[in-house]
Amino acid sequence: MSDTVVTPKTKPQVKIERPRLHKVILLNDDYTPREFVVHVLKAEFRVTEDQAYRIMMTAHQRGACVVAVYTREVAETKATRATDLARSRGHPLQFTTEPEE
């Protein structure tokens, strides 16, 4: 038996990649009241009244607006919760997610 301990000169190069972030996207529709969109944004995404109003208006004018980015699990959970809250109040408001490039 040999007691020689060989210490490697270089560390094993294990590449750890950051998890890809996913965008939560607010979609415009013709029926959900503006104030309700602002309410949902504040409740689920913890943005200020001002930020919520701007996000809502951008979606209203352009058709969609990125609300925030999170890891996939968090983005999907928040999009589902926000969409479900709107559905429970009878509004067709929708949030989707997509991975960032």
- Determine contact, residues 37/51, Cβ cutoff 8 Å: no
Among 23, 28, 53, 74, binds ligand TYC (CB under 6 A): 28
Shortest reach from residue 23's CB to ligand TYC, in Å:
14
20 binds ligand TYC (CB under 6 A): no
41 binds ligand TYC (CB under 6 A): no
**61 vs 13: CA distance, rounded Å:** 48
CB-wise, 22 or 56, nearer to ligand TYC? 56
Amino acid symbol at 91: H
- DSSP structure class, residue 20: P
